Chains A and B, each alone.
Chain A
Amino acid sequence: EPEVTQTPSHQVTQMGQEVILRCVPISNHLYFYWYRQILGQKVEFLVSFYNNEISEKSEIFDDQFSVERPDGSNFTLKIRSTKLEDSAMYFCASKERFSYEQYFGPGTRLTVT
């Protein structure tokens, strides 16, 4: 069964460093999302992406964040200068055009020290 994959599974970085989180959505899906979950808290929407551009973004998704679909299969989330409060699990999700179901990847745990 096709699935969303994410790499790395765990990333440790120092405050102020740039990180890139990678996702490979399910191949026939057209809508892509990033969510994050701070430890012990609920899942929060960051950004949605369709047709090579951002559809919606939340207040969390400030100028330090960017997304890209560089090659038609990968979908990346970049954080330019990480802060301690960026430590969280980051989930990528994708969905088909005519379906509402969003399928989540296994997540990348980002730890900023």
Chain B
Amino acid sequence: AQKITQTQPGMFVQEKEAVTLDCTYDTSDQSYGLFWYKQPSSGEMIFLIYQGSYDEQNATEGRYSLNFQKARKSANLVISASQLGDSAMYFCAMRVPDNRLAFGKGNQVVVIP
């Protein structure tokens, strides 16, 4: 079975600094994908970034980048130049073969001015 692990406690980060959110995964599938979603206090789930298991380059989307280390089975999210609006819960998720998403428990990030 596929498993996503996010174990960091809540994080405080200074505005304009970078923050790295850890995500490790476990799967026996050769083809899979990794997502990061942001969930602000209002509750919606916002897609941030996607990395396919066969993608050789690390995914980037604006201030978000995914540090994909396949051998270590990790897919860490890096948010550069944090903004106050980045305060949210961040979920790592894996696309499993039937295209459902398996989520981790999330990382809470609070950006302080």
By a beta-carbon cutoff of 8 Å, the part of chain A in contact with chain B is: 31, 33, 35, 41-45, 48, 55-56, 58, 89, 91, 93, 95, 100-107, 109
Contacts and interface: CB of A to CB of B under 8 A. Distances in A.
B44 A35 contact: no
B99 A42 contact: no
Contacts of A31: 99
Interface residues on B, range: 20 to 34
Task: Choose among A35, A91, A102 the residue with the greatest number of B CB atoms under 10 Å from its CB.
Answer: A102
Task: Choose among B33, B44, B104 the residue with the greatest number of A CB atoms under 10 Å from its CB.
Answer: B44
Interface of B: 33, 35, 37, 42-47, 50, 52, 91, 93, 95, 98-106
B44 A43 contact: no
B45 A42 contact: no
